[in-house]
Amino acid sequence: MHSHSLTEVARLPTICDPVCSVPNTCRNPRGGSIPQVNVLREMELKRRRTGILNVKVIEGIDVGRMNPFAACNPYVILRLSHTGLQSINKTTVKHKNRRHPLWNEEFSFNVENIDVQTLLITVMSNQSVDKHDYLGRSAIELQNLIPEIPKTHNILVKTKHHGYHVCELELETVYKPLAYGQPVVNEYLSAMQKAALQNPNGRGLFVVIIHEARYLNGWKSANWDAYVSLLFNGELRKTKTITNDPYPEWNEEFTFMLDRPPRDDDKLRLEVMNTPWRFHKEESIGCFDIGLVHVVDDKRIIYTFKLKFGGQLDVELQWRTSD
């Protein structure tokens, strides 16, 4: 057995050694040094970088076209860069034949790291069922926002390659960091878990807005008497029937008061029906089962569904709470 001298024994670490004797760096087996990490400081920095970004798309000014013969049906797509979650595009409604569209639509995003994330803004124009013209894009770096202070942005939207001016967008942003003492919500928590933290009582109003349908003149029937039926929690509701219009606009709102947020297994069924004249049976040109868990997290989602014979349906879902 190897014997140690008193000097060597004095150098050996003991279980009673104070914490302050731990060096600030430790050696990497490859020769580098790893700086000591202050865990509490890192958690506080993460808390400051995490929060909610509220964006209001106000209006577009002098929206251009791809060519003189193209329609001008603009809409805006928003999303955050550098996200660990599944990237979700948030879209405004599509305005028809407007070069100065007025939206006044509000969206919310969960910010994971304000220091690196960017709000990406894309302007599109809807030409047909499957054709959407890309007009231009812009971006807002979140690190330039001052927490809790609303900021109005007048943004020049330009084409990707040549930098041609497409239009000007007016937006308003407010970044709200996580409050001190508020738990940092894990980015992988489900929407239900997040909703429980934000709304402990769970009660809320589930809202369905049937906006409009388009391109119904592709139906086999010569008549377009359309309505939309909604089935949720065993309750069946219907829009009014719009007669002989291939571009019906309903803009009807249906509300459901719930004691809890929608769950993963809750579904909303939508069906678009045509009621032909005389003795013909009703025909369905589109039936959709929509999962509702994302509307709890996003508060507001706009869907565009493809119907049979080239048609489209725009539907908006909202989750409203007293908060």
| Per-residue pLDDT tens digits for 51-92 | 889 999 999 999 988 777 888 889 899 989 887 655 567 888
**For residues 209 and 321, what is the distance between their CA atoms, to the nearest angstrom?**
17
**pLDDT for 197-220, tens place per residue?**
455 457 888 989 999 898 886 555
| 169-184 pLDDT, tens digit each | 999 999 988 765 454 4
Interval 254-263: pLDDT, tens = 888 888 888 8
Closest residue by Cα to residue 166 from 65, 59, 69 = 65
Average pLDDT estimate for 15-27: 40
pLDDT at res. 13: 44
Reply yes or no on whether the pLDDT at 29 is more than 60. Answer: no
For 128-166, b where at least 16 C-beta lie within 10 A, e where not — what string?
ebeeebebbbbebebeebeeeeeeebebebbeeeeeeeb
Percent of the chain clearing pLDDT 70 (strictly above)? 71
Gap between the Cα atoms of 97 and 74, Å rounded: 8
Please tell me the least confidently modeled range out of 220-234, 246-260, 282-296.
220-234
φ, ψ dihedrals at 293, nearest 5°: -65, -30
The predicted structure's pLDDT at residue 108: 82
CB 98 within 8 A of CB 74: yes
Token pair for residue 59? 């209006």
In this predicted structure, the answer to whether residue 46 has a pLDDT above a threshold of 70 is: no
Give the CATH fold of the 46-188 domain. Answer: Immunoglobulin-like (2.60.40)
CATH code, 198-320: 2.60.40.150
Q: How far apart are CA 172 and CA 195, in angstroms?
A: 25
pLDDT at 157: 93
Helix (H, G, I), strand (E, B), or coil: what is residue 148?
coil
Q: Which residues pair with 252 in a beta bridge?
A: 210
* Other residues' Cβ atoms within 10 Å of the Cβ of residue 89: 9
Domain ranges of the chain: 46-188, 198-320
Helices (H), the chain: 6-11, 39-49, 191-198, 293-298
Query: Distance between CA atoms of 268 and 263, rounded to whole angstroms?
Result: 11
What pLDDT shows up at residue 117? 92
